Chain A
Amino acid sequence: MKSKHALPARFEGLQAFLDWAQPTETLRLSKRESSSLEDIREFYDAMLAEMPEIIAYLREAASYAQADASTRTLYTLMLSFADASLSMELHKSPTVPDGMPWEIWKPEHETSGWSKKPAIELKPA
């Protein structure tokens, strides 16, 4: 379990869901895919109730690189919430019904190779 002040003070009510704040897309999806729909619903409902406040908070926040640890954790929780919302609102299932298994569909943007990509620069000479 993370420390008591893992989240910004006004969102401490979400403390019970810190297990969802996994650091990578792959880990977050793995968490969703291995959870029951009831567990996903509990997380989704709690986040949905706070959604307008969280969005307002993120609008005021600094960039991810400059944000403090509790803001980063809140943002990561919001990423997991996006995954959870797809399950609740569209799939009605922890996984993608009739879809290929998530392990086959690899996010290249999370590989070490991708991290060595040169920085994007629009309209190079």
Chain B
Amino acid sequence: MKLSDLQNMRWTLNYPELGTGPVPIDSYSSPGYFEHIKSLFSRTWLCTGKRVEEIPHPGDYFLEHIEATGASVIVVRGTDGVIRGFHNTCLHRGTQLLFDDYGTVPGKLTCIYHGWSYSLTGKNVLVTEKSMFFDVPSMEKDLVPVSVDTWGGFIFVNLNPTPRESLREHLGQELLDLYGDYPFDTTTVHLSYRADLPCSWPVLRDSQLDGYHLKYLHRRSAPRFMESTDAPDRHAYDFKLLGKHGSGSFYGNRAEIEADLSSVAPVAALASRMGQTLASDTANRVDVNTWCPGVNPARARDWFFDFLYLFPNFHIVFLGYQAYIGHKMMPGKQVDHSSWNARYYAPPVETNDLAGQWAAEYMKYSLRDLWREDGNTTVGAQRSINSGVFKRMYLQDQEVLIRHAERVLANEIQSA
């Protein structure tokens, strides 16, 4: 498929309910709207970005912090292998049970303060100096649970212990069918960068919801990778609105990406061949016709990446058959604060292959620097919003997912 085959396609017009007019920015600036966002994050499924193989054995845990609501959640694998979640709160005096973000506990959780202890199912198994308490049977002393479920090996939490819908209902059958066969289980996390930014969560969310900016913002870190002479105003092969979620698939100029590099960027060229980097010819390593139907749906050879936005807080950016980025974007404590955690996932690198490890480190640093370009735009946009000068957004057709994300957010808030 070529971009010019799309001819007069305008994805936005396929969804009349989205309209084509300017998009208001209340969610980016209004403290009142922010209260609704906080409420949403206390009752919907949130992807933690962490994966099942990161806590493979009983007692392995990580902490998940949800700044907007103040919650600290322990996600732990039980002695029965089941992954559960609890507020990180001892029911005696409220002290946090765990302080390290990752680790392993020996079969139970014991409070450092007065030694109360809990099984990995959350049940209180020890009240110390028990005979000195009053009416122990009627004390609320089991850990406060949250909902936990997994999809594709990703661990999701929902602060509501009795969610309105299951994770599978939240994701929807079409998304499950499109991406269920991606070989997530052959991959794991390689790196993780975090930033707390003075910008609203929707500004941060939008920064990874278009492919439009790559030709311009990333002109140095991904030079000419998305420029098409065939259809200069196009860069997208496909967009899908998948219920609350959405996907996009994007062109990559393979001739530019490969040919030019070896003379002007010899290290980038070498790393792209030794490992998998942004310049690797990923669509030629594993036959694209065997990829799961959601990724590179046009089965294009001139392909750069796809993304899948999982409402509300997680973007997966597919870079190849077994390589993808996860952006976790979370609101902060106030409307114009948010946090960004970017992770990259691929098959583990052999520890006895120092050359291969070097190529993986090259990929790490190139992603790190590229993401810094994204980060700066968000802070600048928020300044313009807060100044009152910037009031609405005019979006082109290939930014349809931003239009959709705002509509979904409004619908979810109204339906509360």
A98 and B193 contacting across the interface, CB-CB below 8 Å: no
Q: Nearest-CB distance from B148 to chain A (Å)?
A: 15
Asked if A122 meets B348 with Cβ closer than 8 Å, knowing A82-B362, A85-B268, the reply is yes
In chain B, what residue has the closest Cβ to A71?
A: B354
8 A Cβ contacts from A27-51 to B: 29, 48, 51
B369 and A91 contacting across the interface, CB-CB below 8 Å: yes
Asked if A122 meets B372 with Cβ closer than 8 Å, knowing A82-B271, A106-B194, the reply is no
Q: Does chain A have a CB within 8 A of B36?
A: no
Q: Does chain B have a CB within 8 A of A109?
A: yes
A64 to B356: give the CA distance in the assembly, Å.
12
B348 and A63 contacting across the interface, CB-CB below 8 Å: no
User: Which listed residue, B54, B220, B274, B341, touches A108 by the CB 8 Å rule?
Assistant: B341
How large, as a class, is the contact surface on chain A? 35 or more
B354 and A63 contacting across the interface, CB-CB below 8 Å: yes
Contact stretch, chosen from A7-15, A16-24, A73-81 = A73-81
B188 and A122 contacting across the interface, CB-CB below 8 Å: yes
Q: Does chain B have a CB within 8 A of A1?
A: no
A121 to B65: give the CA distance in the assembly, Å.
24
A121 to B355: give the CA distance in the assembly, Å.
23
In chain B, what residue has the closest Cβ to A81?
A: B267
- B267 — which chain A residues lie within 8 A by C-beta? 48, 51, 81-82, 85, 89
User: Which listed residue, A58, A96, A119, A123, touches B369 by the CB 8 Å rule?
Assistant: A96
User: Which listed residue, A55, A98, A99, A107, touches B355 by the CB 8 Å rule?
Assistant: A55
Q: Does chain A have a CB within 8 A of B379?
A: yes
- A69 — which chain B residues lie within 8 A by C-beta? none
* Residue from A90, A91, A97, A125 having most chain B Cβ neighbours under 10 A: A90
A89 to B101: give the CA distance in the assembly, Å.
37
B375 and A117 contacting across the interface, CB-CB below 8 Å: no
Asked if A98 meets B103 with Cβ closer than 8 Å, knowing A58-B358, A82-B271, the reply is no
In chain A, what residue has the closest Cβ to B101?
A: A113
A-B contact count (CB 8 A): 160
B354 and A61 contacting across the interface, CB-CB below 8 Å: yes
Contact stretch, chosen from B10-18, B55-63, B163-171, B407-415 = B55-63
In chain A, what residue has the closest Cβ to B269?
A: A89
Q: Nearest-CB distance from B359 to chain A (Å)?
A: 9
Q: Nearest-CB distance from A32 to chain B (Å)?
A: 10
Q: Nearest-CB distance from B11 to chain A (Å)?
A: 29
User: Which listed residue, B56, B268, B271, B358, touches A118 by the CB 8 Å rule?
Assistant: B56
Q: Does chain A have a CB within 8 A of B266?
A: yes
- Chain B interface (Cβ within 8 Å of chain A)? 52-57, 60, 62, 77, 81, 100-104, 185-186, 188-197, 217, 220-221, 223, 264-268, 270-271, 274, 341, 348, 351-355, 357-358, 361-362, 364-366, 368-369, 371-373, 375-376, 379
Q: Which 5 A-B pairs have the closest CB atoms?
A: A99-B372, A85-B267, A121-B56, A100-B375, A124-B56
Not counting A81-B267, A96-B221, A117-B62, a sample of 17 additional A-B residue pairs whose C-beta atoms are within 8 angstroms of each other reads: A55-B270, A55-B358, A62-B354, A64-B351, A79-B361, A82-B271, A86-B366, A90-B268, A96-B369, A98-B376, A105-B375, A106-B193, A106-B194, A107-B193, A114-B192, A121-B57, A122-B185
A-B contact pairs, 30 of them (CB 8 A): A25-B365, A58-B358, A62-B352, A63-B352, A64-B357, A81-B267, A82-B361, A85-B267, A86-B369, A90-B369, A91-B220, A96-B221, A96-B373, A104-B197, A105-B371, A106-B195, A107-B192, A107-B368, A108-B193, A108-B341, A109-B190, A113-B101, A113-B102, A114-B192, A118-B56, A120-B56, A122-B185, A122-B188, A122-B348, A125-B81
